Structure 1
């Protein structure tokens, strides 16, 4: 929404309000936006001006490598709307520094002229050190201006990608005299400078017009849709020195070794049901995270261990006690404990699982059912069990105490497994009905005949499940089968699955600028982990750019790198069709132009372009077997455009020629072609764009885009 013009009297009133007794913070100041999600910026610390869209508090926060750990939430704004001012103790000399982390989540209608969205000021109308953004291809540039005149904006040359946090540090220096104040800009400064002294700025500019008299506010500005992109904004700091606006994060010192011992160095338990307190000595002594997780691996004996490391004997023999570091280092220490003089161990032989009152159904929305497990024999030494759930067509959660909560209609299996190492379990099937969102396969969400590619479930709330094939801070990809139509993107910055997780989500199906996605996630359940990835579908660079492969794990083979952008994305080429290799999930740092690659990744659609998103280094393979591709570069098709017949030339013996539509669906195929030329009948095809793929020795030699008229 574009902001409304204020009348002169209204503007004067706004200025009076802004210069009145509004609370001013002392410097250094830190704004973590620790307010209620969905609220506007609070008037106790922020003054609003103009009409239009509010700047709202959004959940989550932004971080930058090496920077101090973020706190609170963040704000989100875009386009035209209200501007907000944050007052601080007035500075009449010296330099005021500011910093913030921003993430442009969408460019919207930002144009190549751009505009400013942040700066310092001495009133509601006199601005300085303004921070600017403008469109550049599929990304944006960042600049600074001593005041607000467009011609004086100083731009950096780096093109920044959306959905990538950027650390901004700016400064306004008040210099004695007139028309000579200095502004400076740093974008993503090196972490080694955090909390120390300022490095050389990316941009330094001396004002040539009227200087600001003093500095007493910073502001966040929503100008117009063409001048302000969609921005998440967080971790704002204002101070009179560099160190205060660039606090360094706490250095993480990992655990390198753990030595496990029993109290008094004991390695035995000799009394019935006796206990032994285990201890874990961690090195280095100043490791950041000093906590461990205790576990037992039975060898010949049986015991239990508490979260604090208290070992309780159950059956004679030897157990291995392990303490594993909780800092993610995977470091652990072990010690063997010998147990004796315990009563005879009685293992579990059977478990019978039932619902409360014999029930096997849940018929109310979000209803629950308490499960119970009857253990045989009744005198089994260990009577505890672990509850789990395996979905068939329905979905639910099960607590550690066996309480099942229904999520989606269908059936599922509830299992209770003995904790005595016998691997004995019992299970029963539950049927769920009258639940909320319908359980829908990813294929049914994605498959469409709509000319715009819209999902038939657009604007519907559904539940679906799939294997995680790609993940990053803003969302993840799920796939529930191999091949076309079986993948989908989930916009969710709250939950973070890992590759191989089997995830069930409930959410709203949306078409975000023609990308089918699931958003507003209300249910998130990881039903299993470590599952194998779906088989990547081998397609051409041309076919990959189609609706059916959106969100799907695919592979392109023997594709030549024909362009590399310094920000990390690159292009590969087969025939005349290019495909962007993007960096949403992983950045491959060393593509070489004219080298051939096999690239595996999920297909993502953004800014009217299909992109393949590799997940890790192993998704990129330098293909040295390129002779076939290079030798067959002479394959052509004429005339193009064509009306009834098009001829493919320079074919090799036993070639396979296929025609597919823009969705990648195969229309016709010609196998074992014996001639060097092949005439293809197009008379039965509707006018439009098609692809001819030529395969030799099982590999695609060339793909040609043609037009039927």
Structure 2
């Protein structure tokens, strides 16, 4: 269908295929896909002389769109749009877009000093550019959650606007945002969404801080209040060194994939207790060392870290220390659907975390966002990418993400086609526990296991749909029984349902999760491999919650004899 949108403005895109997007007043975003070559700054093929003559330039984010027309297509690219609308608009003709004036562009906000003390007036600056003249730039600030006060910024050198915020007492939380308006009557805020996040700092005695103070964020922006500041006195125990999370680079049929090596330090347990330290001087650190570092706080694609410049910026206080106990969390705590900066998960960034209950692999090849590329462990290709990431789910029923790349272990989803000497994971496999360092990249939080000891026992599970017509719920007796170590479990569900099949020992402890997902009506056969379990009596339970409101629960006994 050929449609038209009005009352929107331009926003950022996704590379050349979706060079820009449009967004409405409620923040709903729709990506623009260019098939005609009229709306790409790099036409493909490059020999398209008509497109070159048209001379399209991608509009600045915030440009008013008088109207835009085109055809709606489903173009979610296997989840890369994240939680945005899974569609794209394709303009067809050169006159399908009419652009109006552009709002100001605000960038490079700075504050001095980087870590304010009670004696400091804080200098705040921002760079502002606009196609028309700027009429006003103001900062709106508040202390400890009170009412906002505004103050004008003055133009100094070039396009830099500056003002000063008054001193504040020790431990005062100061939040602020900046607004610029031009002669076209258009305004822009920094941060763009002040309901989600604001710039901020907490007044301290000095620039000697703890990890928790650097990582603290009172909103969903995810940035440190001391970004760009030099800090010192940061102490913690190394929980991952460069032999645990290595510099990773792989080039295959699908292209090149990379991720940086990481040294992580942690100060005790709890929220905001871990942080990534980076720089050549950190390469020599060893897991278990207690260190004190100083450096520049920076954001690396949404994750906070401290950049260390010289060896003298690191003091090794002791070695062979026990690591902080992993933070016990559920897959719901680390939900894959949570957005970057979400304070409910951001607080666990760079912390050693553990999913302590058995988890089932629900997607063996996960893409950016919430999509599952493939349910089979197939190597990376140009048309079926595999980034070495899987989705798992525990008793909470919510999916979390694990990356298998970078860590120094032998577990794989076959992303590189190499399985010799490795443990090949498949969908529905059960892992008794998983732990690692929480990382953030490409719009998703993910656990990064370091070594094989970060994985519990893997119970391979094979599930086959028998294609039978089913009229009632049923759970059959496993066969053979007794068994060693493989047995088959058959169950039937007459309607689409959320199904769980779990194994318990004689004490009622859950030892394996065979199924924990939505399933279509039908009859299924599970190959259960109990090679990791001890001989004894076990129970298997089927619980099904039908979409029609029906429910079913049944338990049967089986005996493992080795």
Tell me the TM-score range normalised by the shorter chain: 0.3 to 0.5
TM-score by length of 2: 0.34
TM-score by length of 1: 0.27
